[in-house]
Amino acid sequence: MRHAKSDARGSRHAELIGWWRAERRDLPWRHTRDPWLVLVSEVMLQQTQVDRVLPYFEAFAERWPTPEHFAAAELADLLAAWQGLGYPRRARNLWQAAAIITERHGGGVPTDLDDLLALPGVGRYTARAVQAFAFGIDTGVVDTNVGRILARWQGRRLSPREVQRIADDLVPEGESWAWNQAMMDLGAQVCTKRDPNCARCPAQRWCAWGSVVLDSEFSGQPDPADRSAGVSARQAPFEGSDRQARGRLLAAMSTSDIERAGAADAMHLERDEARAQRLVEELIAEGLITAVGDRIRLG
């Protein structure tokens, strides 16, 4: 029985990786195993679509190719270069992480999971992504795509502990890089959140939910990925949000400082001065902007 299970798993690995080699996305961060550049790409990809990250990754990789270069840069310059990518605290976190890597790890991104998790802005997903994609460590990388796939394969919602255990167990020995990339591409191209193409999925034979969907033509069958661990929830609308207003202010300061009194105008919050000043105070507290007299500037 154990032998049959092993054979089935080996077949699964071969089929999925074989599909991926034919259908893989050509992404620039897949052409490097440099741990620093892998970390940069993964931080950029947090809650951000691949297409938006592409030009930023290549520009950052050329301008700041090592943690030492990044740590030595002015935060204001990094924030200005980050404009348009969203969630600017990621740039600040990466800057702080680069300093730690330089000072405590001799300029080398650590391989140990706990050391990676100790870096600012690095959570369970990012740490394991660096382990798998930079160092080839056999670990399951669970992003929202992988979390969705595993819940559907199992046919039920999964707890955080379950989803990581299953992801780790599925990684074929010595194939962590290819397997995790294949899982992510499967989720991005076939096993999508909406309108998954089960008919062309290479994992159809062992997917519990896919079998039901194909038999019933969706007939109201609930998606086990809904509210399952690792699967991102629907985000609040961006239009009119604090996130949008903060982004407008940071963009306005990307070339020069501005008067604090002009912050509401920059945020398009002319009729809500109290909200504008609250957001300014939050940005100051987060270290993303600095107040100098009656003016504010990046970093």
Kindly list the distances between the CA atom of residue 67 and the CA atoms of 36, 61, 102, 123, in Å, as whole numbers in the listed order: 7, 11, 6, 18
Active-site residue, selected from the candidate residues 15, 42, 103, 162: 42
- Residue 278: partners with Cβ closer than 8 Å, 6 or more residues away: none
Q: Count the alpha carbons within 13 Å of 221 in the hemisphere toward its beta carbon.
A: 18
CA distance 224 to 219: 14
Nearest to 78 by CA among 121, 112, 118: 121
**Each residue of 62-72: b (16+ CB within 10 Å) or e?**
eebebbeebbe
Q: What is the CA radius of gyration of the chain?
A: 22
- Angle at Cα 225 formed by Cα 224 and Cα 226, nearest 5°? 90
Nearest to 129 by CA among 16, 50, 30: 30
Query: Does 42 participate in catalysis according to the annotation?
Result: yes
Beta bridge partners, 289, equal 298
> Within 10 Å of residue 178's Cβ, how many Cβ atoms?
19
Residues 137, 111: contact at Cβ < 8 Å? Answer: yes
- 54 φ/ψ angles, rounded to the nearest 5 degrees: -45, -55
Kindly list the distances between the CA atom of residue 49 and the CA atoms of 52, 54, 86, in Å, as whole numbers in the listed order: 6, 9, 11
Beta bridge partners, 297, equal 290
Q: Give catalytic residues, as residue numbers.
A: 42
